[in-house]
Structure 1
């Protein structure tokens, strides 16, 4: 990407960010929420470090990665960009227990704790290295076979044991909605919020973080209580139509 292309792409990123923030603000207003309650996470899996740097310059401060190996490569790459000191990376994709070592201590938040076994592996790694991880429990609210995560009943059963694990703080819940079905997406997001309210009341913890909403459904997620929306194409792809 030459200098002219960089300038054009940087202008696109800044303009698109303003559009996204306006849509978040509008959705929050419809729900009687403060837009500042919603954090915009730029999913950087489809771009490389120079594009992440341009996104940083456009105002983004938090990024999400799907693959542990790409997270490690990204963290190594941004060492060449000192202006990005303090950048936040989260792990949002499926995480295998044998990849925990690449994630614990390298991210601000793990969104995708999908089993007791994975929670135990994160806890063990953290305890052995003096690191406490902030995590979200991934819940398959919609019940789709293609999606990972606890079922609502499984997370109810597992919560107390997970909360007792050392070197790990459960901050809330994460979910993915069915694709291309707005009504199902709304049911998923409202179901996640209601489950969080139930678990918070039972545990006495705030569980204040709800990570839900992606490129095609994030305004609905905001209306239903999301505090983190995870946007990839909407942020980085100039050909994506922000409807």
Structure 2
């Protein structure tokens, strides 16, 4: 199937409130343009260097999402360039985002990434450090938290549902609190293999790469 056919097939099965992010890491300009021509405006990149190399060759109305681990020394390059940083996972990173966005007097819209499976191989804030990070976000002037993100452990449907439910419970509990810098607008979870399960458990933002562009 073509990129356009893949996009149409995925969109047909999605509720209207779910944002589809096309994960374009390692994909060339032509493939991204094909997805753009098929109606996609939200694209996700893992690496700052790759993202910056693509931006100037693509339409200015694309909403870029930084979905990979963000190193502190790379924050300065993405100020005012990305719509949403999905991978806020530590107070040290938060402080650098606050500093760099403050220099240009911009607002960084972010998602807090939670390591919900407590996997050593994955980034994301641990559940025991989560509340400390939330409290630190409340003190910022240039960082706004717009929701949560997770990459769950690989597993069967039952396992997937368990982690997605756990994320939705955390998201719901935060939604009931009153914050000035934090709102639970987005719950970013679900990829090519499990996005349908994620959506059924409450995700309203999915990140699909292979399902759109084919095997890398």
Shorter-chain TM range is over 0.9
Alignment partner of 1:149 is 2:129: no
2:69 corresponding residue in structure 1: 94
**CA deviation profile, 1:163-193 (whole Å, cap 9, x unmatched):** 2111111000000111243222211111111
Deviation at 1:158, TM superposition (A): 2.3
Give structure 1 regions of 4+ aligned residues with deviation exceeding 4 angstroms. Answer: none
- Length-normalised TM-score, structure 1: 0.84
Q: Which has the higher strand share?
A: 2
Alignment partner of 1:59 is 2:49: no
Task: Output the aligned Cα RMSD.
Answer: 1.6
1:125 partner SS: helix
- Which residues in structure 2 correspond to 1:72-151 (within 5 Å)? 72-78=52-58, 84-151=59-126
1:42 corresponding residue in structure 2: 22
Moved more, 226-235 or 195-204: 195-204
**CA deviation profile, 1:27-71 (whole Å, cap 9, x unmatched):** xxxxxxxx1110000000121111111111111111000000001
1:164 partner SS: coil
Q: Which has the higher helix share?
A: 1
1:215 corresponding residue in structure 2: 192
1:184 corresponding residue in structure 2: 159
- Length-normalised TM-score, structure 2: 0.94
8 Å Cα contact 1:177/1:184 also seen in 2? no
Deviation at 1:13, TM superposition (A): 1.5
Gap change, CA 1:136 and 1:89, over 3 Å in 2: same
Gap regions ≥5 residues in structure 1: 1-10, 25-34, 79-83
Larger Rg: 1 or 2?
Answer: 1
Gap regions ≥5 residues in structure 2: none
